[in-house]
Amino acid sequence: MFSSIGFIGTGTMGAAVARAAVKGAQGAPVLLANRTRSKAEAVARELGAQTADNETVARECSLIFLGVKPQMMEQMLSGLVPILKARKDRFVLASMAAGLDARRIQEMAGGAYPVICLMPNTPVAVGAGVVQYYGVDATEEELSDFQNLLSAAGMIDRVGPERLNAASAVSGCGPAFCAMFIEALADGGVACGLPRDKALAYAAKMAEGTARLMLENHAHPGQLKDG
């Protein structure tokens, strides 16, 4: 198991993954760093975690989540290259940056360090998300520990590197399309005289129940549609 877990970037997605990681950390310290320190402090208070700066996370943590935006990744990592190079112990970088593969992360970080690329979606925040991931130069034990660490996030699925983008397009973009459908359905209910709060609750619960029915019964959508 990872002896300490750090997050560089605690925005919406970083904080959501941190919530799951704290549950799976089995008492290992969790350090949170963010460009706006008050954001990290708020998440740390909620989770009972510790705040730190990027340099401390890079120096001390055995699993380092990189939760900054793709266009900011190179600049952020460039400042940490000397710290990472100076480490004598093994550590794993876990990148949530869309469009940057593991080899590119290694290049930016200045070494062939173990890298896990993951794509979480927004329902991770309530433990009902999907996280696809793959590893490069990480051991099977590290990948297994990673999957166990995030088990509270929802469905954690290992995929081949070539499938990560397609997989995350389904589960990562899907919540927005689902929300549009729920909103449209609720709008129809409102047009027929329902209070908006009731219409939204009915539509959202219907979507949740239909998904559960599909998953628990291993049913194809066509079966539910035609039933």
pLDDT, one tens digit per residue, over 58-97 is: 999 999 999 999 999 999 999 999 999 999 999 999 999 9
Query: How far is Cα 80 from Cα 84, in angstroms, rounded to an integer?
Result: 6
CA neighbor of 65 nearest in space, from 2, 143, 124, 8 = 8
Helix axes 12-24, 37-47, angle to 10 degrees: 30
Place of tokens 């959202």: 204
Do residues 155 and 172 lie in contact, with contact meaning Cβ atoms separated by under 8 Å?
Answer: no
- Angle among Cα 168, 211, 119 to the nearest 5 degrees reads 15
- 160-188 tens-digit pLDDT: 999 999 999 999 999 999 999 999 999 99
What pLDDT was estimated at residue 206? 97
pLDDT for res 226: 85
pLDDT of residue 78: 97
Cα–Cα distance, 96 to 57 (Å, whole number): 16
Helices (H), the chain: 12-24, 37-47, 54-60, 70-78, 81-86, 102-109, 140-149, 164-191, 196-217, 221-226
- Measure the CA angle with vertex 130, ends 66 and 12; round to 5°: 45
User: pLDDT tier at 225 (50, 70, 90 boundaries)?
Assistant: confident
Q: Which residues partner with 32 through β-bridges?
A: 7, 51
Please give the share of the chain, as a percent, with pLDDT higher than 70. Answer: 100
pLDDT band (50, 70, 90) for residue 103 = very high
Q: What is Dmax (Cα atoms) for the chain?
A: 67
Compute the distance between CA of residue 64 and CA of residue 30 in angstroms, rounded to an integer.
10
Residue 224: the pLDDT is 87
Provide the mean pLDDT of the chain: 96
Question: Residue 65's pLDDT is what?
Answer: 98
On whether the CB atoms of residues 62 and 5 are closer than 8 A, the answer is yes
Say if residue 227's pLDDT is above 80.
no
pLDDT tens for each residue of 137-148: 999 999 999 999
